[in-house]
Each structure stands twice: as structure tokens, then as C-alpha cells.
Amino acid sequence: MRNLFASSEKAQGGGRHRRYFRTEGEAKTYLQRKRVELLNQGTASLAITDPQRVALLKAEELLAPYGKTVVEAAQFYVERHEQIKNSRLLDDAVPAFLQQLKADGLSARYQKDCKNRLTRFRKSFGERLVAEISSNEIGDWLRSLKDEDDSPLAALTRNSYWLRLSALFNFARERGWCSENPLLDSQKAKVRSSDIAILSPTELRTVCWRATTTRP
């Protein structure tokens, strides 16, 4: 059996990692390369200033309860920053979405319904970036909606808003304006059989009209 040459080094996360080589020359070359890497790392660490060292220790202390490293936190920040940088104002996203509906040849009724509902949403969030709007904010907004009698919207009507908003955020996600659809974390209103049985005349007319605006 051919002799193998081995080296042992610390592995990330603890423990040690053993690497095998077919020749002594390969083992020595690898060892020399690792020595250079360690020397460079040591030199770089000496360049860290005292304020940087204090900040690093503080960051590690803050991240410890969550089991995250400084590098992971930095990566998360960069990804979030890129997401915000590439996002769009809701005031810009809604017209773009409506334009796509028209280009896709969807029914005029559906386009009008989306425009009416999203225009109402724009009044509250128009100046916000799409990527910054949270599911909690959307849920609170949906619950705050009132009908013409200043009463909370019926569950079916509120859910129609939910569907149009979900379509909008799916459109934004596909274009990289947000990383996910926040409506997926915001539940629809629960429709009970008793709710359907006691619809007011106004609500009944609304439901009948909405039934004709379903997206084809």
C-alpha cells in the first residue's frame, strides 16, 4: 500500500481537518502555502485599530444570543441594502403593474377594479419603497378599511383587496423590487357562513359586481 502524507489543521466550527497527499513534495508545498496565509492573516489583524477591535467585540456580543457571526451580519446587511437600492416607490410600481395588465389583455373590468383598489392603497403607501412595506403594515391597513357606511369592510370585500395587493407584490418581486410577497405572511379575512347569510343590500350589490371582475 502506498504511503500517504497528512497534515492536520483547525476546521471552521471547531475540531480538526486532516488532509492527505500522495507525495512528500505535495505536502510540503501545501504546508508552505498555509504558513503564508497565516502570516498574511496575522499581519492584517495587527492593522486593526483599537476602536475597530472594540466595535468588533461589541458586535460579537450583540450577535451571540442569535448564534450569528459578524460576517453573517455583514452579509445580511449588504443583501438588504442591495434590495432597498433596487426597489421602487409604490407610486411607480402601481402604474407599471396596471400597464402590464393592459399589455396582457386582461378584462377592462379587472383592470378598473385593480386600479380603484390600488389607488386607495397608494394614498397610504405611495411614497414608500415596495421593499420596505411589511406584512404587518398591510394587515393593519386592510383591517382599517371602511365601507360607505363607515363600517369595517365585509370579509369578502377585504379579501378582494388582499388578492389585488398580492398580485401587485408578485409583480414587484418578479422585477427584483422586493425579495418576497408580504401578503403571504398576512392572512385573508375569515369568511364565516353567518357573514354570508346576513349581507346588507349594499354588500350584496358589491359581491355581485365583484364576481364579474374575477381575473380571467
* Contact of 147 with 202, CB cutoff 8 Å: yes
Residue 5 reports pLDDT greater than 70:
no
Query: Looking at the predicted structure, is the pLDDT value of residue 204 above 70?
Result: no
Per-residue pLDDT tens digits for 87-111: 999 999 999 999 999 999 999 999 9
pLDDT at 1: 43
- pTM assigned to the model: 0.59
The pLDDT of residue 37 = 66
Residue 179: which H helix or E strand, with range?
none
CATH class of domain segment(s) 90-211: mainly alpha
Average pLDDT over residues 162-167: 96
Domain boundaries, the chain: 1-11+18-47, 50-85, 90-211
- Which residue, 54, 30, 36, 29, is CA-closest to 44? 36
Asked whether 172 and 93 are in contact (CB, 8 A), the reply is yes
Tell whether the model's pLDDT for residue 39 goes beyond 70. no
Q: Which of 40-44, 152-156, 163-167, 186-190 has the lowest mean pLDDT?
A: 40-44
